[in-house]
Amino acid sequence: MKHSIKPPRLADRIFTWYCDTTMEDLHGDLEELFYHDLEYMSVRRAKLKYWQRVASLLFSYAVKKRKQKAAHHHYAFTSFHPAMLKNYFLIGIRSLSKHRFFTIVNVLGLAVGMSISLLLIAFMSFLWRYDTFHVNKDRMYRVISVVTDKQRTDPLATAPVAVAQKLGEEYTGIEEVIRINSTLTAEASYKDKEIPLEGYYVDSNFLQVFTFPLLKGNIATVLSKPNSIILTEAAASKMFNTEDPIGKVITMGEQDFEITGILKNIPKNSHMQFEVLASYQTLLQSTKFNSAQSTDSWVDFRKSYIYLLLPAYHNTDAIEAYLNKVSAPIYAKEKNLSATFELQALNDIAPGRDLRYSIGPAWDYASLSIFIFLTILILLPACFNYANISISRALKRMKEIGLRKVMGGQRDQIFLQFIMETVIITMIALVFAYYIFTLVRSEFLSMLADRVGMDLSTDFYTIAYFILFALFVGLVAGIIPALYFARLTPIQALKTKPVSKGFSRISFRKFLIVSQFALSLGFIMGVVVVLNQYRHSLNHDFGFDQENILDVELQSANPQILRNEFAKLVSVQSISMSSHIAGTGASESIWLKDLHVTDSTEVYQMFVDERYISNLNLSLLAGNNFTEDIAQNKKHAIVNEEFLKTFGIKDPAHAIGQSYVLPGGDEITVSGVVKNFHYMPLRYPIKSFFFRYDSSRFQYANIKMITTDVFTSITEMESAWKMIAGEEKFTAQFFDDEIKETYAFYFVMVKMCGFLGLLAITISCLGLLGMVVFTVENRVKEVGVRKVMGASTTSIIVILSKDFMKLMSIAALIAIPLAYLFFDQVFVRMQYYHVPVGILEIVISLSLMFLLGLATIFSQTIRAARANPVDTLKCE
């Protein structure tokens, strides 16, 4: 019978592929039913039905059973016998120790790849345990706010105090409301001891809600009275050594506190890190805190955190809705700002969303994902390397596998055998990876911003995670070779016909080597570019002198007295005063108005005295410097060139005498114009800026020194300082050091890029080494014949190395444009005054990569090319 309509081909194919030929009766049934259906159905429906039937058969017990029967010999084991596992283990160990070179290459590669993963695992396993020690952790929430002001919308970790007021007094169904104010950070003094302590003002119910155990003191009363304070054990021993601190009075920020209790030290996995806690009552009564205004304030978001303890059955949506309902009319009246509130569960704080003003270590998701991404970027190539090398060496194992199959070895059993072998390797690699991990751990910690809240020491759990991870890596790395070996048919295997020769078969390998080298090149370029950027930043002409200037923090010293005293010293040439240190941190800005225009313009400002300009060697383009007359100085400003541009003044001379209105309503007159200089770090462009004079704002004395003996002159200054400021510590730093420090983050980047680059290039070179050795081994005979026929050593080296050099060139061709685009367009533009990525950097990175790559290749090919053909050919 001939039919013009056939069953759907794909379904047919799938069925025959899955069921082999042993199920022709089922297949016949399918087809018969299909033609039956066709008699009273549309073709489409019949085909659909055919698909359904195929699916129903594929997953049916009938097919499963028949497949098992077909595949298994009657006496074959279907389960894994312990004896077989033992055998796999033994064979694995034997084959590893027999091919020592490849074992070493594999172990090293995997160890390097896994080392950074161990960092990540230790890091993550610590993060998972964040804030888990609080007994009430499932019922604790933080009120966070999303604030929209003129410029942008920001999620903040803070919330105004008025929210606490509202929730505490008017909302039922919240067990506890806790206010925390993080302004209690100051020098704490007791007798003659002075120690900086960090801490919060908290409500008296704080300790009942948060699980921070008290060692001494009564949990109900320690924080109930004004001016009571509790210290952590560590802070107490710093202050009092062995003395009993209870009842002692310490002074912090011009306020006396009585110590009422001692806390156990704060665990590192807490998102709050503090040393002292003072009662919130203190804050309410203190003079610097105008309570009438601040407790009602809905607009003050700074340093104020609100935590809630909810009953066991709670509805956070209702509280959020309530808050937003109450606050809406209040913010409707505000012109510049509005806010909405959300509740954040304690478990979601760290790791959590990226919030501004976070109270302690927060570990936001964005940076975590970058970390994870980088880890995978390093780990995956290492795994693929292993797979690559294993498959390329399949030839050596073919006979064994063939024999196993003939003796009744099942697919799954061969699969398990090779997975097991991989796991053995990863376990050995884990030991080395752990060693690398211990080496880089402290360095890594020091690069973290919030290192107080991180502990990378290993405990039982982390070790368990490490081992699980090694198992997992074994699975990932081993799955490709294991599948490959398991799929071999006995005939294929026993005939040992060469499955692949060098690169001829799998382009996947080429792709692997290319991508690894491209990645390494990217990291190398990162190091070179960042170093260059760093050098550029330091050598950049800031527009002022940095050498031989010592910046002394004034603290509470009187600028005039300090000037008089320090001027007496021989080493001091001149002294000026300033409110900021140019070219380092952020500058403050105010909104300045033109006399005639209503719009205001943002202008950066710095308060300096009349000697500052000459001291830093800034050049005055027009007008005059500040004078000795302090009263007059306050009305004057010295502007920069950019200022003139912004206000549309062409000639510097015309600017003199122009008046502007300050935010308070005071007028200020331009008395001079100074050449543009970098008052902020190079990351930011030079904007409108002016110098003003206000001796109450001076923070630093800039001392120009003329001396070669820095040490003695600083000691002299210190003794002079003792006379002026007494107890306060003399803090001074050289100007150029401070500038250098501003760019220290480049150093962190160099370290990071360098480390990752080192890992990447090591893995790439190991992978390459494996491939080269394999190719060379396979071509030993060919080389021998060539030599006999008169080929020179050089020509043989070229023949053997050609393929690999081609791959590296491709890697370079791919990586250079990508890395160039990334570094030139994205990375260096993070800094406004940057140096573009030049040819030189590319050449340096390239030659570094080729140097390492070629060294790897030649180390093997030269040896092969030099070999005596007699040795290689005599056995034929």
Interacting residues toward other proteins by CB under 8 A: 1, 24-33, 35-36, 52-53, 55-63, 65-66
Q: 38 vs 231, which CB is nearer to other proteins? A: 38
* 58 or 798: CB nearest other proteins: 58
Compare residues 30 and 420 and give the one whose CB is closer to other proteins: 30
Q: Which lies closer to other proteins via its Cβ, residue 62 or residue 843?
A: 62
- Nearest-angstrom CA–CA distance, 248 and 243: 10
Q: Residue 565 contacts by C-beta under 8 Å, 6 or more apart in sequence? A: 720, 723, 724
Token pair of 838, please?
Answer: 């030049």
**Least Cβ distance, residue 8 to other proteins (angstroms):** 14
Q: Is 648 exposed, middle or buried (0-12, 13-18, 19+ CB in 10 A)?
A: exposed
Query: Minimum CB separation from other proteins for residue 23, in Å?
Result: 9
C-alpha pair distances (Å), 368 with each of 121, 127, 365, 827: 12, 11, 5, 19
Of 35 and 101, the one with the shorter C-beta distance to other proteins is 35
- Nearest approach in angstroms of CB 495 to other proteins is 33
How many whole angstroms separate alpha carbon 876 and alpha carbon 871?
A: 10
Instruction: Between 63 and 283, name the residue whose CB sits nearer to other proteins.
Output: 63
Helix (H, G, I), strand (E, B) or coil at 303: coil
As measured in angstroms, the least distance from the Cβ of 25 to other proteins is: 4
Q: Quick one: which of 84, 41, 92 has its CA closest to 421?
A: 92
485 contacts 394 by C-beta, under 8 angstroms: yes
The distance of closest approach from Cβ of residue 79 to other proteins in the complex, given in angstroms and rounded to an integer, is 19
Report whether 212 contacts 219 (CB < 8 A): no
CB of 2: closest distance to other proteins in angstroms? 10
Taking the complex as a whole, the smallest distance from the CB of residue 52 to other proteins amounts, in Å, to 8
Name which of 24 and 727 has its Cβ closer to other proteins: 24
- Name the residue nearer to other proteins (CB basis): 31 or 782: 31
In angstroms, give the least distance from the CB of 29 to other proteins. 4
Number of residues that this document lists for the chain: 876
CB of 10 to other proteins, least distance (A): 17
Distance CA 241, CA 245 (A): 9
CA angle, residues 750, 751, 755, in degrees to nearest 5: 115
Minimal distance in Å, beta carbon 307 to other proteins? 58
Pick 52 or 669: Cβ nearer other proteins: 52
User: How many of the other CB atoms lie within 10 Å of CB of 786?
Assistant: 17
With a CB cutoff of 8 Å and minimum separation 6, the contacts of 288 are none
Q: Which is nearer to other proteins, 3 or 225 (CB)?
A: 3
One DSSP character per residue, 736-778 reads: HHHHHHHTHHHHHHHHHHHHHHHHHHHHHHHHHHHHHHHHHHH
Query: Are β-strands 193-202 and 276-279 bridged in parallel, bridged antiparallel, or unpaired?
Result: parallel
Closest to other proteins by CB, 1 vs 83, is 1
Cα 284–Cα 197–Cα 131 angle in degrees, nearest 5: 85
Q: Using omega within 30 degrees of 0 as the cis cutoff, is the peptide bond preceding 836 cis?
A: no
Contacts 24+ apart (CB under 8 A), 76-84: 76/408, 76/410, 77/410, 80/413, 80/416, 84/413
What is the sign of the dihedral through the CA atoms of 497, 503, 507 and 509? Answer: positive
Six token digits for residue 30: 């399918």
Least distance to other proteins, CB of residue 32, Å:
5
Q: Residue 66 CB, nearest distance to other proteins (Å)?
A: 7
Cβ proximity to other proteins: between 24 and 741 the closer is 24
Report the distance separating Cα 559 and Cα 566, nearest Å: 10
Q: How does DSSP classify residue 586?
A: P
